[in-house]
Amino acid sequence: MEQWLIRGAKVTDPSQGWDQVSVDLLVRDGVIAAIGSSLSADARVILADGCHLLPGLVDIHVHLRDPGQTYKEDIKSGCRAAAAGGVTSVACMPNTSPVCDCPEVLGEILAKAKDVDARVYPVAAITSSLDGLHLTDFPALKAAGAVAVSDDGRPVPTGGMMKKALEEGAVAGLPVLSHSEDLSITAGGIMNEGVVSRKLGVPGIHPAAEEAATAREIALAAATGCPVHICHVSTKGSVELIRDARRRGVPVTGETAPHYIALTDAQLMSRDADYRMNPPLRSEQDVAAVLQGLRDGTLTVIATDHAPHAPEEKADFFKAPNGAVGLETSLALCHTKLVETGRLSLLDLTALMAWNPAKLLNLPGGTLREGAPADLILFDPAIRWTVRPDKLHGKSRNTPFKGMKLTGKVRFTMLGGRVVFTEGEGLWTS
């Protein structure tokens, strides 16, 4: 395998507490062989002047639609999009067709994930066929390669079943990821309940739908001592619940997505279904609370909830499925909205998008330590660009960030010592 020597990069690596440290990095045999000053080796040299060297991002909430809906996305196209966004590891959700609820489907996913442009880690279902009634075989799923369990796409309907899942997950060593939503409160709503939904005359989803379910999961984690991770946190109330629980020592973690820090429900005044999510885009007050949750450590992960859909499916505002693509824009968007505005440092952001999610799911990435897999990116914080759906690398184009001007762009992505994405000129010297 080709050797690589990266020179002149500003290295940011939360696993080592390095914040824009100028060092050289040598890649040999697919791993980080050395980090230091003035390294020399018989290697291909990359002059990274002006770029930041970061560990590859670890996105623990991705829908690859494979198997069953590969016209929207498949494992190969999803990983190609991931590489373009600097994401080198993805955890794919189980709401596929068939559902990823048994070793056989896990095996199919892992077989397809060989030699693609990102590492693929399957999340298996909590209940069989996402039925909310019958717990899957957690030890068998763990043995087959699952890294976590979730019924994402649907909540686990009863507290009793979720309690069993937390207990079984703790025994099997499988983190439990919760889609926290009370469907009896959601009641067919298609966007956040508030001023905008009333103006549009469409049914809304009250924040209490998310908050009631989040409170349940926290109560169960407190009662059992078993960890729970709350996915796609979107409301002020949920942030406050998680903050209070963590202060009390409850083993709960929370994630949010880029669209919950950059957009509000006001975008839906356009009746453009690309802005329809679940949970829905919320109010400015909720966005402010999510931002504060990231700043004070209440929320420890940013994940995309990458959810591709075909154009014809998104054509009807009222009937469209929820979700948006996000793998290619996540780092640039968060850099623009969080780092450029002074809300977070690049070190903080890298922890939220690489190191923390890797630790949460016990994955090998998210670090630039010697001996770690050479999953890394070069990110140019000065490049200004506009999101164009037709330039995206995945199969689907349903981005809510279309036309948005962003600052910062991934120029180079390496996966296990293999170059999987490059953008622009001027990096290569030999």
d(CA 305, CA 164): 25
Tell me if 332 sits within 8 A of 409, measured CB to CB: yes
Q: What is the pLDDT of residue 8?
A: 87
pLDDT value for 365: 95
Residue 369 domain-assigned? no
Looking at the structure, tell me whether residues 321 and 405 fall in a common domain. no
Q: If DSSP codes are grouped into helix, strand and coil, which group holds residue 116?
A: coil
**10 and 99 in a common domain:** no
Residues 83 and 23 reside in one and the same domain: no
In a domain, 397, yes or no: yes
Please list, in sequence order, all residues whose beta carbon lies within 8 angstroms of the beta carbon of residue 332, skipping any fewer than 6 positions away.
85, 385, 406, 407, 408, 409, 410
State residue 430's pLDDT score.
62
DSSP 335: I
pLDDT per residue as tens digits for the range 116-149:
999 999 999 999 999 999 999 999 999 999 999 9
H or E element that contains 227: none
Residue 368 lies in a domain: no
| pLDDT for the residue 246 | 98
pLDDT, tens digit (0-9, with 9 covering 90-100), for 254-270: 999 999 999 999 999 99
Pairing of β 204-205 and β 191-192: parallel
Q: Residue 367 falls within a domain, yes or no?
A: no
Q: How many domains does the chain have?
A: 2
Name the maximum alpha-carbon separation found in the chain: 66
pTM over 0.85? The answer is yes
283-305 pLDDT per residue, tens:
999 999 999 999 999 999 999 99
Task: Indicate if 39 and 183 belong to the same structural domain.
Answer: no
Q: How far apart are CA 63 and CA 72, in angstroms?
A: 10
49 and 61 belong to one structural domain: no
Last residue of a domain, one of 360, 383, 410: 360
How far from chain centre, in Å, is Cα 47? 29
97/140 same-domain check: yes
| 261 and 311, same domain (yes or no) | yes
Listed residue (144, 214, 139, 225) closest to 174, CA to CA: 139
Q: Could you tell me if 245 and 385 lie in one domain? A: no
Residue 424 has pLDDT above 80, yes or no: no
The range of the structural domain enclosing residue 193 comes to 57-360
Residues 210 and 319 in one domain: yes
Report the catalytic residues.
Answer: 305
320 and 178 housed in the same domain: yes
Task: Kindly state the average pLDDT of the residues 333-352.
Answer: 98
Q: Is 103 exposed, middle or buried (0-12, 13-18, 19+ CB in 10 A)?
A: middle
How confident is residue 1, by pLDDT bands cut at 50, 70 and 90? confident
Same domain, 268 and 334: yes
Amino acid 426: pLDDT:
65
Q: Is residue 430 part of a domain?
A: no
Report the alpha-carbon distance of residue 33 to residue 213 in Å, rounded: 46
* Last residue in a domain, options 337, 360, 383: 360
Does residue 218 sit in the same domain as residue 290? yes
* CATH number of the domain residue 109 falls in: 3.20.20.140
Q: Find the CATH number of the domain harbouring 417.
A: 2.30.40.10
